[in-house]
Amino acid sequence: MIQKSKPKEKFNWVQGVVKNIAYLGDVSIYYIETKPYKKIVMATLPNKKRQETPAITWDETVFLSWKPGNAIVLTS
């Protein structure tokens, strides 16, 4: 989930800055540089959903969050 406000949960979220946006018709892909890790995370948001909330744009601070069951650890 991408949002402009800090999640209320204690875990499963990270702050970042939108570095690039790829518009692909029905979806947009956001390239977000996480703080303080400086890693790029790609997040996809359906454009129908984007129209219901204020637009997220370049160089904006955002928060990425996820449900605990949605996390997968890759070991190699």
- Per-residue pLDDT band for 11 (boundaries 50, 70, 90) equals very high
Residue 48 lies in a domain: yes
Residue 76 lies in a domain: no
**Two structure tokens written together for 63:** 């928060």
| Full domain range(s) for residue 46 | 2-70
Residue 51 lies in a domain: yes
State if pTM tops 0.85: no
Number of independent structural domains in the chain = 1
- Are the CB atoms for 8 and 59 separated by under 8 Å? no
The CATH number assigned to the domain holding 64 equals 2.40.50.100
**Cα 56 to Cα 47: distance, rounded to the nearest angstrom:** 11
Residue 64 lies in a domain: yes
> Does the pLDDT at position 50 exceed 60?
no
**Radius of gyration for the chain, computed over Cα atoms and rounded to the nearest angstrom:** 13
**Cα 48 to Cα 33: distance, rounded to the nearest angstrom:** 24
Average pLDDT, the chain: 89
Residue 66 lies in a domain: yes
pLDDT per residue as tens digits for the range 53-62: 668 999 999 9
